């Protein structure tokens, strides 16, 4: 996917530097050529020899290295690649970048480059939250530098919180997005995914068997074609893809609010299995069987997110619904398409025998104004790729 692309990877001095070895491996596997640059501190964490071995080329470390300068001057080096990636971007490197320092090879390259720059910050949580780092971050964003992460979690220093460097897969996905221009480049596409949870009381809820697998695969396929994907997901079993903007919601009403907030978009795909009803008399305290006996739940209808967006003043050009049916699949789906006002319906049979709901494969019918197309049973990722391709053709 990155064949012929050149990435200069500037490795900063932090414990997360070890993840760069994997990042280099993944970048090269994707076809990219990686020019590694290490700060002096970085070589305390990983050896230049390991980096050079994985990159398959020499590591650049020093500004005043006659041999390096004779072979490739630092200005030339700074312009050589399609993208400069700083990983890990330490608090110190971020401060230097924000201030415009150029006192070693890494910072000089960053000052001299005319190419886009992506940084993956990694540091202790207090350092990340420090007003100075946040000031520097704002400055770097204002300077047009792209940022990925940091993630939250356990840190090498024993603390917990934001500060962990994004995982190599996530960095690779972001790099790919920066460097590839697919047929959906510049298009904003919304995908809803997963089930919704409708509370009965603070500890109980009503849900359904959707795993979120089809919506997630679709978001990934759209991203791979270059789309800017806004992924609104209920509590799914599968993690959201890297390189998309994720909004996590629980209820149908939250999903509607997040979806409306994402408008305008070029296309919207409603792959979520939204609960049709919510418990109207949901309890603010946990229901007790000792005092309440068998509860009588009262339901009210949830908003229909797809129908709302299809009739919205800012309706996307292409609105696609899914129809989960257990009988007379195509006829029900055709009626659904008309009722909801969407352009296409992707219909599937979710009766238990098919193993589709919560499974890895899907057999769909694509229903549009032109008629019905029956697709073969395919892995959900292939259904997603085929659909993403069709969306790209429709939006072209
Ligand atoms: N949908 C939605 N909001 C809802 C219900 C459904 O956006 N409140 C969307 C789903 O994401 C899907 C499509 O509408 O794209 C059809 O969902 P489905 O559950 O098959 O249809 P329902 O409207 O619930 O119809 P029924 O339950 O009667 O089959």
Active site residues: 157
The residue out of 160, 179, 198 marking a domain boundary is 179
Cα 284–chain centre separation: 34
Closest CA to 13 of 36, 41, 49: 41
Inform me whether the pLDDT recorded for 159 exceeds 80: yes
Q: For the purposes of burial, counting CB atoms within 10 Å of the CB of 393, is it exposed (0-12), middle (13-18) or buried (19 or more)?
A: exposed
Q: Which ligand 1 atom is at minimum distance from the Cα of 276?
A: 8
Question: Number of structural domains, the chain?
Answer: 2
Q: Which of these, 368, 275, 371, lies nearest to 324 by C-alpha position?
A: 275
Task: Tell me, using a 6 A CB cutoff, whether residue 272 lines ligand 1.
Answer: yes
Domain termination residue (choose one: 130, 146, 179): 179
pLDDT number for residue 156 = 76
Instruction: Give the pLDDT score at 66.
Output: 64
How many whole angstroms separate alpha carbon 242 and alpha carbon 168? 10
In order of 104, 168, 243, 248, 383, the CA distances from 120 in angstroms are 19, 10, 13, 23, 33
Q: Which domain holds residue 355?
A: 188-395
> Which of 11-15, 75-79, 318-322, 355-359 has the weakest average pLDDT?
355-359
Which of 299, 321, 362, 366 has most ligand 1 atoms within 8 Å of its beta carbon, as the pocket-test mutant? 321
Q: Where is the domain boundary, 130, 160, 179? A: 179
The answer to whether residue 291 scores a pLDDT higher than 80 is no
Same domain, 20 and 164: yes
> Contact 226/200 with Cβ under 8 angstroms?
no
Rounded CA-CA distance 106/101 in Å is 10
Let me know if residue 1 belongs to a domain. Answer: no
Average predicted confidence (pLDDT) for the chain: 93
Q: What's the mean pLDDT in 5-33?
A: 97
List the structure tokens of 90: 């330490």
Q: Which of 104, 90, 112, 120 shows the shortest CA–CA distance to 9?
A: 120
The whole model's pTM is what?
Answer: 0.75
Q: What is the mean pLDDT of residues 333-362?
A: 90
């Amino acid at each position: 996917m990155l064949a012929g692309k050149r990435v200069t990877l500037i490795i900063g001095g932090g414990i997360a530097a070890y993840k760069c070895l994997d990042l280099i491996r993944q970048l090269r596997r994707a076809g990219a050529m990686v020019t590694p640059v290490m700060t002096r501190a970085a070589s305390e964490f990983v050896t230049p020899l390991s980096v050079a071995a994985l990159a398959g080329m020499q590591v650049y470390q020093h500004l005043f290295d006659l041999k390096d300068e004779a072979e490739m001057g630092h200005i030339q080096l700074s312009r050589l690649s399609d993208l400069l990636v700083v990983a890990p971007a330490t608090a110190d490197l971020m401060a230097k970048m924000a201030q415009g320092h150029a006192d070693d090879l890494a910072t000089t390259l960053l000052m001299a480059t005319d190419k886009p720059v992506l940084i993956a910050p990694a540091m202790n949580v207090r350092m990340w939250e420090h007003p100075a780092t946040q000031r520097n971050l704002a400055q770097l964003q204002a300077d047009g530098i792209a940022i990925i992460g940091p993630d939250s979690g356990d840190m090498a220093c024993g603390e917990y919180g934001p500060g962990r460097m994004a995982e190599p897969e996530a960095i690779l996905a972001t790099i790919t997005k920066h460097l590839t221009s697919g047929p959906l480049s510049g298009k904003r596409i919304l995908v809803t995914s997963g089930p919704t949870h409708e509370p009965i009381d603070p500890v109980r809820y009503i849900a359904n068997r959707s795993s979120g697998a089809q919506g997630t695969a679709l978001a990934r396929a759209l991203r791979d074609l270059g789309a800017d994907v806004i992924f609104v997901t209920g509590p799914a079993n599968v993690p959201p893809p890297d390189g998309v903007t994720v909004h996590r919601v629980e209820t149908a009403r939250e999903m509607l609010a997040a979806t409306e907030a994402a408008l305008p978009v070029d296309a919207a795909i409603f792959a979520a299995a939204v609960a049709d009803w919510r418990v109207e008399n949901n309890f603010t305290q946990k229901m007790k069987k000792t005092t309440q006996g068998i509860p009588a739940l009262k339901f009210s209808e949830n908003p229909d997110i797809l129908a709302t967006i299809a009739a919205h003043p800012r309706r996307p050009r292409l609105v696609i619904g899914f129809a989960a049916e257990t009988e007379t699949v195509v006829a029900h789906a055709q009626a659904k398409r008309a009722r909801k006002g969407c352009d296409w319906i992707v219909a599937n049979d979710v009766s238990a025998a098919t193993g589709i709901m919560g499974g890895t494969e899907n057999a769909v019918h694509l229903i549009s104004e032109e008629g019905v197309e029956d697709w073969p049973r395919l892995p959900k990722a292939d259904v997603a790729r085929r659909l993403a391709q069709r969306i790209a053709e429709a939006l072209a």
